Structure 1
């Protein structure tokens, strides 16, 4: 049950570029890109946001027949968010950090489904595949993060049914501006960030931005730590009055000792005669464990206004990730009376990925209608090569084995007794994945009262994993075609109350062969959602209520056959309520509530089991109070997060649910003058020790965090 992502190689890039040029130049369909989605000119009128994440065309969130959540850079700064999976802790529909705070990976569950393959930046996919090769997002480098809830394959192709997370990069500004930030806190947290932008050489047709950051700090477990370097330059050019191109790049390096937050239920969730395992206990091997990850991304966004009706947009990005990961981890079962066996993860590899998306957008009008037609085509390619020296491995003949490294005391691990393991001959993997899709979508607005939406997408996806070891070589893969549909309707009320109904689909390919000898079919998701968006014209704020029913078919289940069969189903039903608004001119409230009933089929005998790590109930509220009217320059904020009880994995042997917990956060900010600001953020004020969830392992939630910062703006 260990998790993470994969790497790619640089050599395949030229071929990927050649194929991509065919896609972008081959015809009219190729002309519709994700540029708007990536560029996302954010129009923020109070708390109303115009975004392209949901429809790939700039549309006000309150006029989109889908549930969307948005978190701005200003809110991330106010709440002191330094880790990407903390972004949506005050939004509905998201389980943040279900596996506790992992310094090597960001974890989300969206509407009861894992979001491992749901991360995008500037409208283009960030590959997190293979279990350990995860592209990591830096919150200091984003303007905004959007969450489109539910299936989204109509616009994004292969995607999980829970939703899509899209980070919008910081980009150049017309006016000169700059920020220098210094942070320090507990757990040896240190951070320096700089963000500078403005016109190039006082020109009005060229703008730049440079974002840089250094961060260092200890992890939640004894001996764990990570150091990060991040640099993201960008350049925007007005080629003509009708054409703009923006170049975006980023370089990031993470190095340190990864968190190994896996614990048995005995001594964490369940009582033990030896007491509770200290949440800071590292059951890995801190003097042996190592993380070294380097990632580079470079791309562009092109927008061209062809005439009064047609617009062309294109996004493209190349990414490279290089990973060395070595990590000792514990088994999930205790060896009586108080010991546990350990294995090792040892991965070394790299990946190269290329994405391009093209769009044509046509906007036409009559006296009573406004129609927006979107026609697009996109291509993705991933090439991953890595060496696997894990304790648990699949051999070329299909057999598997698990080799224990050693055994340690749960309450007092002796790191000095460790001997570096010999895991045998490595397995070499060569993974190739390609996806091509064409899509069409139409939005029709009638009489400023009704919005109708319909769309379809065709995708061709193929993937292969060629692996070899001393016993021989083998290959797995899939070759699928998929049609995805979406439809929606919304009534725009004069009083700002707008009910809607929508339907959407998703698909996720699966590698392998079933008991009948045929390749597995893709997992197919569908969602029916009904809701209402309330945004009164005389109120600076909004409330969204959504009721959803998401089903995923073709789920793999265990049967009497030696391989799994596609005969299961995963289903998530629930209610989400979310609102952001000003109660007074100085007091802003952000509040959310989520009810989720997520269930799945495990085997012939285990049907309709509750999904682990997903609570029935979650609720949160954050208040920002600007006290400048009475105490100039002072702002304070406070939040509360309730996480309901969750269930462990069926068949795990854990015989009780994980209890609920309530956490409290706070901040205080003081503007010393027009340029200087001091701020303090405290998360988990009471330093609550709690189990964030259990599957086969159990995981401790994040401890108290105290961070002070000083910012200089010009």
Structure 2
């Protein structure tokens, strides 16, 4: 403990009163009729968000939310040039991105796969079903990404205690605004993106926003060629100052040529030694590809009551399709002949639909002399997923690994070898 002598106390007291007197004198000298305008500082862009109401259902700041939170805001997305969700997750603490082959990613957190996904705070069935491609979805239509690590059972229901990913879509603006972004990069990357928003009349009570993007690129891997198309439209109607209706459509299509399946590259030679192959090595062929497209139509209604309680209802319909031609590759490579790998070609096709409905009411209340918040709601979804696999018409011959991309196309049967699928309902009371 620091102890001051009587002399030190007197000096400190004198300095304190002197500073107070000088401040009072300076204040009295300021003209009372000073009409100079106060400078206003506008903060444009942020690396954080005010509240996490979408993810938790409660108007809580990041500090007030009792879980580990990360937010990838639009400012971060633009500054870092993030164009897909997988890239955003790679910039998130505590998230591990597991790359499978050339175009599949499986994020995990705390030792578990992430299978909880939300759109604008409304849960969908999960990432391992029909929306598995949304980890590679384009970021052009999203305002930010919220990640809650750990169990998110309050709003998500059953699932892995890994993390929940909430994708917040862009909303219409009443003022006119438009941006065009062009991007070029290594390996033939070219990208164009348009984002426009405006009032549509009725005293600014009707507004709309459209987003379009197209990207084409190759890769450091041999034979890879990617392109994707994004179209997004959103209309908001303000019936009153407290009631808003939002209707939109989100369409994305992805095409990847030269995809690999199984082992992208052999790890060992036939003599047991490790391979030392070029970084560009790939067991994808010129005829292998993976196509995915999905369209989501959605609508949400929000009403704010006079007591600061808010009612929100959300519904969406997702319709998706994918198909691919590929060859499952495994085996060991002969260091002399450069052969030895085996490949099982197949063609896969699938369709999925998902209907989601979410309704909740939340707001503050006082109890026992303290302020509280509460959310009560109901969420239900139904997913239907059907898939089929068509066998190849012929086998693949032994082929040199150095010319693997040019392996002949075996052709595929028009009759599926087998069909499988599922229908899964999910209900989450809150």
TM-score (norm 1): 0.49
Relative distance call for 1:212 and 1:205 in structure 2 (3 A) is: same
Q: Which runs of 5+ in 2 are unaligned?
A: 1-43
Asked if 1:232 is matched to 2:221, the reply is: no
Partner of 2:35: none
Partner of 1:314: 313
On the 8 A contact 1:120/1:166 being kept in 2, the answer is: yes
Q: What does 1:194-593 align with in structure 2 at a 5 Å threshold?
A: 194-201=194-201, 203-260=203-260, 262-266=264-268, 272=274, 276-286=276-286, 288-308=287-307, 310-331=309-330, 333-334=331-332, 336-337=334-335, 338=338, 339-365=340-366, 368-389=369-390, 405-413=396-404, 415-417=406-408, 419-420=410-411, 425-439=416-430
1:174 CA displacement:
2.7
Partner of 2:190: 190
Say which structure, 1 or 2, has more relative contact order (CA 8 Å, 6+ apart).
1
1:306 CA displacement:
3.5
| Length, aligned pairs only | 377
| SS of residue matched to 1:245 | strand
Normalized per residue, the structure richer in helix is: 2
Question: Per-residue displacement from partner, 1:179-201 (whole Å, max 9, x unpaired)?
Answer: 00111111111111000112113
Asked if 1:57 is matched to 2:51, the reply is: no
Q: Measure the CA separation in 1 of the matches of 2:375 and 2:153.
A: 15
Q: Measure the CA separation in 2 of the matches of 1:420 and 1:79.
A: 42
Q: Measure the CA separation in 2 of the matches of 1:240 and 1:126.
A: 33
| SS of residue matched to 2:77 | helix
1:388 CA displacement:
1.7
Partner of 2:118: 120
Asked if 1:150 is matched to 2:153, the reply is: no
1:44 CA displacement:
8.2
Q: CA RMSD, aligned part only?
A: 2.8
Q: What does 1:11-22 align with in structure 2 at a 5 Å threshold?
A: none
Q: Measure the CA separation in 2 of the matches of 1:73 and 1:142.
A: 8
On the 8 A contact 2:70/2:147 being kept in 1, the answer is: yes
Partner of 1:134: 133
Q: Measure the CA separation in 1 of the matches of 2:366 and 2:204.
A: 32
TM-score (norm 2): 0.79
Relative distance call for 1:296 and 1:422 in structure 2 (3 A) is: closer
Q: Which runs of 5+ in 1 are unaligned?
A: 1-42, 392-402, 440-714
Question: Per-residue displacement from partner, 1:8-46 (whole Å, max 9, x unpaired)?
Answer: xxxxxxxxxxxxxxxxxxxxxxxxxxxxxxxxxxx9887
On the 8 A contact 1:188/1:217 being kept in 2, the answer is: yes
Instruction: Mark the structure with the bigger radius of gyration.
Output: 2
Q: Measure the CA separation in 2 of the matches of 1:429 and 1:180.
A: 43
Relative distance call for 1:143 and 1:126 in structure 2 (3 A) is: farther
On the 8 A contact 2:324/2:348 being kept in 1, the answer is: yes
On the 8 A contact 1:251/1:297 being kept in 2, the answer is: yes
